[in-house]
Structure 1
């Protein structure tokens, strides 16, 4: 399988499976049990806790695609509950718990973990701090299914960080990219205030950003053979099929 074909095949399933985890009521319930109030506190403090005790403005600059008020409110709401490092560990546990509930039982997670870890280890994390933070999170050796979900999350953070860089290189703001990609209503849902409909001239810029994102991921997938890329694509498809194990 060619590199760009593999990248194109796995990008959407990895992104969407991560979205399912993040938006699931079961994930929110873990946060509530950990002491977080309803809202975005667990999400922001947990997902971005790998950055350490950073100011909200720094967290916003690193993650990019969510509206600044949403990030600032969630980050500050979660701060009294637990330190950033502890919140990130709690969120990682939630990632693994969700994976155990949703990854089909017949997936070869051991082979997936081997290939996914090769990609993660290969990645150059320069200018990708959120990915670097998640890559540094411990992955338990005795929970292969949960570990597979955590690696899906880490790979999702890699593409997201690459995409933010590509968006800016293409002359778009993160808000503009969200509107072009998802529309005004979804941009509002993700915390952007009064976003305007996308001008037609912005669409080619967003398309360029998508191409650049793929190009930034080439070094990862170049480490796999054509056969391994085909296997990885099949494993991602099987893993993210959303059947309950």
Structure 2
């Protein structure tokens, strides 16, 4: 399989499977049991906790696609509950737990882990601090299914960080990209207050941003052989196909 064919096949499933984890009530319940208030506190403190005790403005700049007030409120709501590093560790545990509950039992997660780690190790993390933080988060050696889900998350963070850079390079703001992608109404769900329609002339820039995102990811997938890329695409399809019974 060619590099860009593989990226085209795996990008959406990796993104969507990560979304399922993030929006699942089971994930929220992990945070609630740990003392996080309802809302985005666990999500923000856990996901962005790999940045350390960063200021609100730093978190807002790195995460990109949430409305700035929503990101700020979530980060601040989680701050009294536990230190950032501890929250990131708990979020990693939630990722692993969700993987054990939702990754189909017949997937060759050992081979997925081998190929996914090869991609993760090959990535240049310059200007991608959120990805760098999650790459540095230890994966369990005795839980291959949980580790597979964590690697899905890390790869998702890589593409997300690349996409934020690509969006800005193409002359779009994060708000404009979200409105083009989701529409005005859905963008409000992600914290963009009064998002307003985007000028039609800007819409092609998002497609260019997608292409540039693929180009930024291409060096990772170039480290796999044609056969490995085919295997990886098949494994991603199988891993993200449906929740396990």
1:58-94 residue CA offsets vs partner (Å, 9 max, x unmatched): 0000011100110100000000000000000000000
Partner of 2:57: 57
- Distance in 1 (CA, whole Å) between partners of 2:200 and 2:235 is 37
The alpha-carbon deviation at position 199 of structure 1 amounts to: 1.8
Q: How far is 1:203 from its partner?
A: 1.2
- Write the mapping of 1:74-223 to structure 2, written as runs, cut at 5 A: 74-223=74-223
Moved over 6 A (4+): none
- Structure 2 unaligned regions, length at least 5: none
SS in 2 for 1:162: helix
- The alpha carbon displacement at 1:242 in A equals 1.8
Q: CA deviation at 1:243?
A: 2.8
Q: How far apart, CA to CA, are the structure 2 residues paired with 1:99 and 1:119?
A: 20
TM-score (norm 1): 0.99
Give per-residue Cα distances to partners, 1:93-115, cap 9 Å, x unaligned.
00000000000000000000000
Q: What's the counterpart of residue 2 of structure 2?
A: 2
Distance 2:33 2:150 in 1: 21
Q: Secondary structure at the match of 2:107?
A: coil
Aligned-partner SS, 1:5: helix
Count of residues in correspondence between the two structures: 245
Name the CA distance, whole Å, in 1 between partners of 2:131 and 2:221.
16
Q: What is the Cα deviation at residue 198 of structure 1?
A: 2.2
Is the counterpart of residue 226 in structure 1 residue 223 in structure 2? no
Other structure's SS at 1:223 match = coil
Does structure 1 residue 73 correspond to structure 2 residue 73? yes
1:43 maps to 43
Distance in 2, Cα, partners of 1:218 & 1:41: 34
Q: TM-score, normalised by structure 2?
A: 0.99
- Calculate the aligned-residue CA RMSD, in Å: 0.6
Question: Equivalents in 1 of 2:85, 2:206: separation in Å?
Answer: 34
Question: What 5-or-longer segments of structure 1 have no aligned partner?
Answer: none
- Which secondary structure does the structure 2 equivalent of 1:48 belong to? helix
Which moves more between the two structures, 234-243 or 154-163?
Answer: 234-243
